[in-house]
Amino acid sequence: MDNNALHKIGYGLYVLIAQQGGKDNACIINVAQQVTSDPLQLMICVNKQNLTHDMVLKTAKFNLCPLSEEATMKPFEHFGFQSGRNVNKFENCEVELRSENGLRYLPKYINACFQCVVTKAIDLGTHTMFIAMVMDAKVLSDSPSITYAYYQQHIKPKPAVNSTAAGKKRWVCEVCGYVYEGDELPDDYICPICKHGKSDFKLIEA
């Protein structure tokens, strides 16, 4: 099977926000889609290893915010490259913005906010697919939504040319194309973009 075929599927990039027991948290996901218009329902897919996954499963509530072309690497590093189990991701947010459902959203980097209530959770093994009703939605910016291809071309820093010479190895996520650089790929590594695990990464031969 040619896994590169998966790169031909278009993906967006979204901030998924939840709250449980007074704790706000968020992660980056790349699978979200409107599935029906009457009633208005969305589908998202989230890796079970994300703390936000557990919070959505338990509280049946989330905000979904498409990242826009105003985004830099910062929201990816902040929400995607670290876990809410270790840090409070909203601790140093410059303003505290909450939608009517009490959940957080961001002052920048996003262009809309969908307030959702989960109606169905489908166990897909590594991930859970959530079907949700959109209770309210608002546009926050006219900046276009980013695709994963846009992220690769315009946001993600280009890998250092001499990284191989410096002894660093590179692994590519066969699901979304994300490249990890380092001495070793940790066993518990989760792709910061698509949330797939180590088994979906392949070593790039120098």
The contact set with Fe ion (CB under 5 A) reads 173, 175-176, 178, 191, 193-194
Distance in Å, CB of 48 to Fe ion, minimum: 15
Shortest Å, Cβ 55 to Fe ion: 22
Rounded Cα gap, residues 156 and 73, in angstroms: 6
Structure tokens at 193: 């973009």
Q: How far is the CB of 154 from Fe ion (least distance, A)?
A: 18
CB of 69 to Fe ion, least distance (A): 21
48's torsion region: left (phi>0), alpha (psi -120 to 50) or beta?
Answer: alpha
> Least separation, in Å, of the C-beta of 126 and Fe ion?
12
Residue 200 is classified by DSSP as G
Q: Which is nearer to Fe ion, 41 or 126 (CB)?
A: 126
Kindly tell me which of 11 and 114 has the beta carbon lying closer to Fe ion: 11
Tally of CB atoms within 10 A around 65? 24
Helix or strand holding residue 179 (H, E): strand 179-182
Q: Is the peptide bond before 39 cis (omega within 30 degrees of 0)?
A: yes
Is the CB of 114 or the CB of 148 nearer to Fe ion?
A: 148
Q: Do 30 and 194 meet the contact criterion of CB atoms below 8 Å apart? A: yes
Spatial distance between the Cα atoms of 141 and 109, rounded to a whole number of angstroms: 9
Q: Which is nearer to Fe ion, 76 or 178 (CB)?
A: 178
The smaller minimum CB distance to Fe ion, of residues 61 and 196, is found at 196
